[in-house]
Amino acid sequence: MLKKIDHIGIAVHSISQARIFYEQALGLHCEQIEEVPSQQVRTAFFSLGETKIELLEPMNEDGPIAKFLQRQGEGVHHIAYRSDNAAAQLEKAEKAGCRLINTTPIAGAGGKQIGFL
């Protein structure tokens, strides 16, 4: 069911500040900025080969990314794997003993169905 690494999510305080590094130092191009209300986050995507880098900026102080930043500071938040069946992949992970944050897929950036372990 898993196809590839889709993207690496990196929590940042400010997309506008962080994108300077990704665009000027790394030479990447910001392809899309989107708000994902279900996760209380604003995202910015940069392609690097077949994998994307996703910057995650909290939309408020109560969301999961805001809490992550308070605990950990800026840095890698998640690695997203592309699956052809997110619901079945979550079920398989749960049966294997993984603790699921989402037991069923939810709406993510780009209209994708996502679930966190």
Closest CA to 7 of 85, 101, 79: 79
State whether residue 20 is helix, strand or coil.
helix
What's the pLDDT at 38?
85
96-102, Cβ contacts within 8 angstroms, sequence gap of 24 or more: none
pLDDT mean over 2-21: 96
Rounded mean pLDDT of 3-28? 97
Q: Which residue has the higher pLDDT, 110 or 27?
A: 27
Tens digit of each residue's pLDDT (9 = 90 or more) over 30-89 = 999 999 998 899 999 999 999 999 999 999 999 999 999 999 999 999 999 999 999 999
Coil, strand or helix: which one is 41?
strand
Q: What is the mean pLDDT of residues 84-105?
A: 95
**Domains (range + CATH), the chain:** 2-82 (3.10.180.10)
Q: Where are the beta strands (DSSP E) in 1-117?
A: 2-11, 30-36, 41-48, 51-58, 75-83, 106-107, 113-114
